[in-house]
Amino acid sequence: MTLKSIFGAALLGVAVGVLPMMAPPSFADSLRVVRSGTSSSLSVPMNRAVVVESDVPFAELSIANPAIADISSLSDRTIYVLGKSPGLTTLTLLDATGKLITNVDVRVAPDLSEFKERLKQILPNERIDVRSANDGIVMSGTVSSSQRLQRALDLAERYAPERVSNLMVVGGVQQVMLKVRFAEMQRSVAKSLSANLQIQGDGTYIGSGAFLQPRNDTGGLVVDGSKRTGLFSFDAGAFQIELLLQALETKGMVRTLAEPNLSALSGQEAKFLAGGEYPIPVAQDGGEISVEFKPFGVELNFVPRVVDGDLINLELATAVSALDQANGYSDGTLTIAAFSRRETSTTVELRDGESFAIAGLLQDNFLDNNSQLPWLGDVPVLGSLFRSVDYSRSQSELVVIVTAHLVTPTRGEALALPTDRIKPPTEQELFLFGHVTSGAKKQRGAAGEVAKQDFTGSYGYVMD
């Protein structure tokens, strides 16, 4: 390498090290944000135009985002602004020398004037506030029912599809107490009349029915001991005549009453069961036996919805069931009871305090049975001795009534419990006087009236 090249390289290195210190200030430090003029804001409805006027003549206009708003000058003081899509952009005005006059924030939002007008026409008495947020609609306030809230949201979706924010709340009472009365009355009547004739002589036997049998070895008639009531016996020469008359009448009545009450929040499901669960074996694959529990008793499931003021929509299912051993299953080693069950499931609408009969049944069964000895039973008058007649009739009446109430919480002192009317007796009251209960504690108001009742009078609980 020559001396000249070495000296040139050294000078180049010195120049590279000295140049950063001798460089002028950066370009960014030479810029400043122009803040002269008055900054303001302008709201423009989407798909609509507004005309604004400047106090100072301008020479040049510019818009930051033409996709949000479009502008044009009508004169040196008048500007035409068209809202194209929701958003925020900036409009800049410059004078003839290029000096900034002002920056204007242009906010384009959906046109809510028509929506507010339609909302006021459809729901005139609702306090609903409507605001725009970016490219959507924000709704707040208090409405009287969930049904009207949904109407307002459906209308807002027509103006801003999938861009509606719901901040509204439902006012008024939103808790429902359902009272169900399940009443059933069953009546049954059965009557039977039968006659059995038996004639026995030397080597002869004529008889009807299976109550009397031929003579035994001792010469007497064999009669079922349980059938001796109504037995008439007499001799006619060499013949012995026995007549067995039976008449039976039975009457029965069954009364079933259940009144489950249950409270729930509007739109929430509530369940009630007063009874138990009965184990039922179920065969599985492979021969194994598992046990499933089937509930029985008084059942109530419902979903209330307060749709408009005091109008309540009820989706409910109620049932009353009991074990029925008479119709059960048995294979000699295993016995499974059956169930007698009355249930209903429906959806109704009613107002606060109103009642609805949601189910009813009237059933009348009649059974008539006539048995007789062939030909002899058809003989007039005497044929009744060779004939048995019985009939049975059963009637059943069932009705299910529901009553809905809008309820609010109350103080615990205002409620009465079934245990409030009694308290355990002292040893003196139990052993000396034979009292099974002691005096009830003193209470006031309606709860006190219930507490004073005993088991021989009326019963129930208090609900205001």
Q: Over 370-405, what HEC string results?
A: EEECCCHHHCCCHHHHHEEEEEEEEEEEEEEEEEEE
Task: Report the predicted TM-score, pTM, of the whole model to 2 decimal places.
Answer: 0.56
Contact between 308 and 147 (Cβ < 8 Å): yes
Q: Could you report the per-residue pLDDT of 326-339, keeping only the tens digit for each?
A: 888 888 788 888 88
> For residue 195, what is the enclosing H or E element?
strand 175-201
Whole-number mean pLDDT of the chain? 77
User: Rounded mean pLDDT of 262-275?
Assistant: 90
Summary count for the chain: helices (H), strands (E): 5, 23
Residue 250: the pLDDT is 85
CA distance linking residue 178 with residue 405, whole number of Å: 6
Length of the chain: 464
d(CA 73, CA 460): 83
Q: Compute the CA torsion angle 330, 331, 334, 336 (nearest 10 deg).
A: -30
Which one is predicted more confidently, 198 or 26? Answer: 198
Report which of residues 463 and 178 the model is more confident about.
178
Query: Mean pLDDT throughout 107-120?
Result: 84
- Beta pairing, strands 164-170 & 136-143: parallel
Contact 51, 42 (CB under 8 A): no
Of the pLDDT bands very low, low, confident and very high (cuts 50, 70, 90), residue 287 is confident
Can you tell me the mean pLDDT for 424-450?
73
Q: Is 361 helix (H, G, I), strand (E, B) or coil?
A: strand
Is the pLDDT assigned to residue 24 strictly greater than 80? no
Do residues 319 and 339 touch, judged by C-beta distance below 8 A? no
Dig out the tokens for 149 from the structure: 């809230």
